[in-house]
Amino acid sequence: MLETLAGRLTWERRGESIRVAIPARAGQFAVIYGPVVVVWLVIATIRYVILLSSSHPDDTNFILQMIAMGIYILGVFYFVWWLAWTLTGETILTLDPVEMNIQRRVLGIELDTRCFRCESVERLMFVRPGKSESSFSIFDLGSGRIQFRANNSIHRFARGILEDEANALIEQMLKRLQFPRNTRPGALTG
């Protein structure tokens, strides 16, 4: 049975291991971006249906319109992917005494899984959200994340996590896993 860990995070025990579900966080402009893109898609669809239903001479203008339609179709695919990730995306973190698994899912379908032996995980920390790239005065809540070093590289997960959620998750991780000694609760935030 899933219990709330903190904020949006839920978890459940499975024998000696725990499984934590971290839902994707919609960006701060998703409420504006989504409807604007839908309006754009409707207008562009009407335009391209009219273009394809009329006679089209062999000229440069029609070729450019076909290129624009190809870009439009790519935009539709990107929007559908973004919408699916925003509404159903999640990261599943499975922690047992020996191994840590990080799995990303969309619509319940596994996209990728990364596994790390606990003994190789170092410098586990929460990275606070920074300012938005487009506006230097607005914080981007989606930029907060947890990161660690393993196998001589930096790995990140839980993008969009808030500080209280991250602290509760890291506390559970430190209780369950046998991390190296250089991972200490005092060094959790960066």
Instruction: Report the pLDDT averaged over residues 5-23.
Output: 84
Quick one: what percent of the chain has pLDDT higher than 70?
82
Position 180 scores a pLDDT of 63
58 and 140 within one domain: no
95 and 63 part of one domain? no
Is 70 buried (19+), middle (13-18) or exposed (0-12) by CB count in 10 A? exposed
Q: What's the CA gap between 135 and 132, in Å, rounded?
A: 5
Short-list 2, 9, 5, CA closest to 158: 9
Answer yes or no: is pLDDT of 106 > 60: yes
My answer on whether 15 and 73 are in the same domain is: no
> What residues make up the domain containing 109?
3-24+91-187
Phi, psi of 180 (to 5 degrees): -60, 160
Look at residue 102 in the predicted model and tell me its pLDDT.
92
> CATH code at 16?
2.30.29
Q: Does residue 121 sit in the same domain as residue 174?
A: yes
Q: How confident is the model at residue 114 (pLDDT cuts 50, 70, 90)?
A: very high
Question: Domain check: are 79 and 97 in the same one?
Answer: no
pLDDT tens column, 158-190: 888 888 888 888 887 877 776 665 454 444 444
Answer with the one of 47, 71, 86 that is the final residue of a domain. 86
Count of domains observed in the chain: 2
